[in-house]
Amino acid sequence: MRFGVVVPWCGVDMNGGVERHALSIAMELGELGYSSEVLTTTGRSSFTAWDEDYFEEGIEECAWGRIRRFPLEKRNGGLYDVLFTRLRSSGTLPWLEEQQLLLQKVSSRSLYEYISTQSADYVVIGMPYYYGLVHWAIKSAPGVSVLIPCLHDEPEAYMSATRELFTFATHAVFNSDPELALARGIIPQGSRMRGVIGVPVSDTRGMGVAQRFRAKFGIEDPFLLYVGRKVSGKGLDHLLSMIQGARSELPEGLRLVTIGPGSMDALAGQDTLGDMVVDLGELPDSDKLDAMAAATALCHFSKLESFSLVLMESWYQSTPVIVHEQAKVLASHVRASGGGWIVDTIQDFSAAVTQALLDRGQAEQTGLLGLRYAERFTDKNVTRRLIEVVRS
């Protein structure tokens, strides 16, 4: 078997969850002895223009295989905005408008043509479900195709085009139990859902050094940590609101450190917290792991997750997490592991932070429970489960 992992953007220095997911699978397949490549576009990332080239077209050779980049199609951004707004406001679009929406996301005819010329032993793995690139890559597969949808409870999940995608894929595998449950509620019964395999997580235990982070960034106060894109969809505005509401109950000097792309300026509530928030922007992985090791707890309130790498990374540094009850995937990880606190109200949040700060023995034990849980999602374990699905 040969494998092609399709993802809209990819580079060895990218920190996005889907990009890292795709690259981890491709790398592990290569290290297990399979012919493996990532099929992607010349685009930079979801934060840049979706029809703007950044990388050169062609092949980037790697120790485990290759990254093969294809040119982007030009898109009509105005049409996309109109259709996306209509979908989000009404929850539905006619089938033809769904197709137009997908065409205006990320697309590459050259990539589809390349897939269609491969022999039947070429296995196409596509992620995530909501880009046109993945839809047409799966439909172009000459043999076995595996959809890793990274499904969220959002209007795109309920499109007829999404249901159609699941029927084209030979197999569909999932990152978590709540994601699988969501899929079973909206996808036709005839689709070949093969269960949960998880997401590959690199074993970084012990790599984060708390004192190195404090010395480099001059942060000696205890702090909560947020890691991810600074957009409302990731729950950061909800976290800021929760901190504001609990502020009078929280210890003096407690900070919120944020790491990741985007600006805090557009988020509601950030201006009321003043210097309590320390935004460090995007950081190298080494600094991020140091921050996780130094943090009192990682806070993650995103409802739009199908797995959450940052939870696992935090647990690999034995740092507990605080998640919101309405973030179903995150809450399910915490329930299964015992590696943190699930909060719903300001009072819950205040109590969780206070316990994490004052009962360090309990906090350390909580972090260790998370570590034991994260160990089931090593690169090798997840990729071997994927291979078993392909061979089934």
Instruction: Domain of residue 235: give its range.
Output: 210-376
Q: Is residue 80 part of a domain?
A: yes
The reply to whether 381 falls in a domain is no
pLDDT of residue 252: 86
Low-confidence ranges of the chain (pLDDT < 70): 15, 190, 266-272
Q: What is the pLDDT of residue 268?
A: 59
Contacts of 286 by beta carbon, 8 Å cutoff, 6+ apart: 207
> Would you say residue 56 lies in a domain?
yes
Say what the pLDDT of residue 274 is: 79
In the chain, the number of structural domains is 2
Q: What is the pLDDT of residue 271?
A: 62
Which pLDDT score, from 0 to 100, does residue 270 have?
Answer: 58
Same domain, 177 and 277: no
Does 390 map to a domain?
no
Q: What is the CATH number of the domain that holds 149?
A: 3.40.50.2000
Task: For residues 37 and 131, state if they share a domain.
Answer: yes
Same domain, 322 and 225: yes
Shared-domain flag, residues 154 and 219: no
Burial of 257 per CB tally in 10 Å (0-12, 13-18, 19+): buried
Please name the amino acid found at residue 88. Answer: R
If we measure between CA atoms, which residue out of 239, 283, 276, 240 comes closest to residue 260?
283
Residue 179: its pLDDT value, please? 95
Q: Do both 241 and 179 map to the same domain?
A: no
Mind listing the pLDDT tens digit for each residue in 290-319?
999 999 999 999 998 989 999 999 999 999
Give the closest residue to 69 by CA, choosing from 77, 78, 81, 61: 61
151 and 112 together in one domain: yes
How many angstroms separate the CA atoms of 239 and 243, rounded?
6
**Residues near 191 by Cβ (< 8 Å), separated by ≥ 6?**
163, 166, 167, 169, 172, 183
- Within a domain: 152: yes
Q: So what's the pLDDT on residue 264? A: 83
- C-alpha distances in Å from residue 71, one per residue of 52, 106, 234, 263, 389: 9, 10, 30, 29, 31
Q: What is the pLDDT of residues 335-388, one digit of tens each?
A: 999 999 999 999 999 999 999 999 999 999 999 999 999 999 999 999 999 999
Indicate whether 192 and 254 sit together in one domain.
Answer: no
- Residues 199, 128 contacting (CB under 8 angstroms): no
> Does residue 170 share a domain with residue 253?
no
Do both 214 and 104 map to the same domain? Answer: no
Separation between Cα atoms, residue 294 and residue 392, nearest integer Å = 44
Residues 106, 183 within the same domain: yes
Residue 256 falls within a domain, yes or no? Answer: yes
**272 and 297 co-located in one domain:** yes
Q: Has residue 24 been placed in a domain?
A: yes
**Distance, CA of 171 to CA of 160 (rounded, Å):** 18
Q: What is the pLDDT of residue 269?
A: 56
Instruction: Indicate if 225 and 110 belong to the same structural domain.
Output: no
**98 in a domain, yes or no?**
yes
For position 158, what pLDDT does the model report? 96
For residue 269, what are the contacts with CB-CB under 8 A and spacing of at least 6? 237, 240, 241, 244
**Which of 169, 196, 223 corresponds to the end of one domain?**
196
pTM, rounded to two decimals: 0.86
Place of tokens 């992620």: 127
Q: Residue 266's pLDDT is what?
A: 65
